[in-house]
Amino acid sequence: MSPKSQRVLVTGGAGYIGSHTLPELMMAGHEVHVIDDLSNGHGVALERCRQIVGRDFGFSEADIRDAARVSEVIRAFGPDVVIHFAGLKSPSESIEKPDLYREVNVIGSLRLLDAMRAGGCQRLVFSSSAAVYGPPDFLPISEDHPRRPTTPYGASKAEVEDILVQEAAKDTTLTCAILRYFNPVGAHASGLIGEHPQDIPTNLVPYIVDVARGRLPRLNVFGDDYGTPDGTGVRDYIHVTDLARAHVAALDWTAGATGAREFNLGAGEGTSVRDLIRTFETATGRDIPFVVAPRRPGDVASSYADPGRAERELKWKAELTLTDMCRSAWAWGARNPEGYA
């Protein structure tokens, strides 16, 4: 339980992770207000969050780069803390549009930070990514692992992290929880919210869901000759509901801490592509035909977190299983074949 009810401004709350965080925040007793430009988020997701919790909350359709508009929302809502999900998230798209990624992710975050501080809000929870690490030197990856992002997306997250660390060093009233997510998957237990499918998904779990419902014929397993136990890529999958709960814990942490601190958010366990296929098949009773395809350029063999710092300092750890992730992803996918459309 949170120490007391807080006013929480959630940027990007209509997106995948943001929408799963809203019910957790409200169930912990917090008041929320969402800012989202709906460029990749969905008004229906917000409606469904209201339905899940049985409570209303405010929403402003706005771009985080619009300083005047964001300041106005902050003045009106008066947040105690901001959770900043809004941003662009595709590593491959960022290679084609590096300027756009810098503009939205870095400049957008800077404008938001300015508006927060001008409005008297000094606590921030920021969505970073394991993409800041690049190819791992050692496993599991701890927060002091060197950061060598390999895409403009990862670089944009690393740049925001640097700004937050520098600003918090200069201003001791500023507190920032920098959350580095590994591989968020799955959907809400209600089956009402989940990850909205792109045309053809690029991420593994949404792709598997599309194979399970017959929209795609088979999964391409990108490489089975890595130096991993079964040769396929190993990742740290984390249930989006566990991830959402970590934000409630991080918000509590910002109430009692100072400075900027990085936290890995993962289950701390490596799962291979073959493990995931098998677990999905057992959990859902669907067959997932696959073929082995060439390695995907830029992929690493293994990446998984040491989530010990989050457990010690945020008092949070992932609790849901890979089976829960597969079952919930399938329940959402089967019930909402067109996502929110």
d(CA 282, CA 314): 33
Binding mask 278-317 for ligand WQD (x = CB under 6 A): ------------------x--x------------------
| Binding status of residue 37 toward ligand NAD by CB under 6 A | yes
Q: Are the CB atoms for 7 and 255 separated by under 8 Å? A: no
Q: Are the CB atoms for 175 and 314 separated by under 8 Å? A: no
| Binding status of residue 40 toward ligand NAD by CB under 6 A | yes
Query: Which tokens is 48 given?
Result: 């469904």
| Binding status of residue 89 toward ligand NAD by CB under 6 A | yes
Sign of CA dihedral 60, 62, 64, 70: negative
Rounded alpha-carbon distances, angstroms, from residue 255 to 3, 68, 259: 9, 27, 11
Query: Peptide bond before 136: cis, by omega within 30 degrees of 0?
Result: no
| Binding status of residue 280 toward ligand NAD by CB under 6 A | no
| Binding status of residue 104 toward ligand NAD by CB under 6 A | yes
Which C-beta is closer to ligand NAD: that of 4 or that of 296? 296
| Binding status of residue 262 toward ligand NAD by CB under 6 A | no
Picked from ligand WQD, ligand NAD, none, the partner binding residue 273 (CB below 5 to 8 A depending on kind) is: ligand WQD
Binding segment (CB under 6 A) for ligand NAD, from list 81-89, 135-143, 210-218, 245-253: 81-89
| Binding status of residue 64 toward ligand NAD by CB under 6 A | yes
* Catalytic residue (one of 16, 101, 133, 153): 153
Binding segment (CB under 6 A) for ligand NAD, from list 38-46, 48-56, 92-100, 136-144: 38-46
> What backbone phi and psi angles, to 5 degrees, belong to 93?
-65, -35
Give the three-state DSSP class for 245: helix
CB within 8 Å of 303: residues ≥ 6 apart: 130, 133, 136, 139, 141, 182, 234, 235, 236, 270
Q: Examine the residue annotation and report whether 304 is marked as an active-site residue of this protein.
A: no
Q: What is the DSSP string of 35-83?
A: EE--SS--HHHHHHHHHHHT---EEEE--TT-HHHHHHHHHHH--SEEE
Picked from ligand WQD, ligand NAD, none, the partner binding residue 207 (CB below 5 to 8 A depending on kind) is: ligand WQD
| Binding status of residue 207 toward ligand WQD by CB under 6 A | yes
Q: Where in 106-135 is the site for ligand NAD (CB under 6 A)?
A: 108, 127, 129
The distance between the two most distant Cα atoms of the chain, rounded to a whole number of Å, is 56
| Binding status of residue 207 toward ligand NAD by CB under 6 A | no
Q: Which of 40, 220, 228, 321 binds ligand WQD (CB under 6 A)?
A: 220
Q: How far is CA 63 from the centre of its chain?
A: 19
Q: Are the CB atoms for 49 and 23 separated by under 8 Å? A: yes
Number of amino acids touching ligand NAD (CB under 6 A): 25
* Exposure b/e, 270-297, CB count within 10 A at least 16 = b: bbbbbbbbebbeebbebebebeeeeeee
Query: Which tokens is 251 given?
Result: 């918000």
| Binding status of residue 38 toward ligand NAD by CB under 6 A | yes
Closest residue to ligand NAD in the complex (CB): 15
Q: How far is CA 47 from the centre of its chain?
A: 20
| Binding status of residue 204 toward ligand WQD by CB under 6 A | yes
Which C-beta is closer to ligand WQD: that of 79 or that of 152? 152
Q: Which residues bind ligand WQD (CB under 6 A)?
A: 89, 91, 129, 131, 183, 202-204, 207, 219-222, 233, 235, 273, 296, 299
* Contacts with ligand NAD, residue ranges (CB under 6 A): 12, 14-18, 36-41, 63-65, 85-87, 89, 104, 108, 127, 129, 181, 184
Indicate which residues carry an active-site annotation: 153
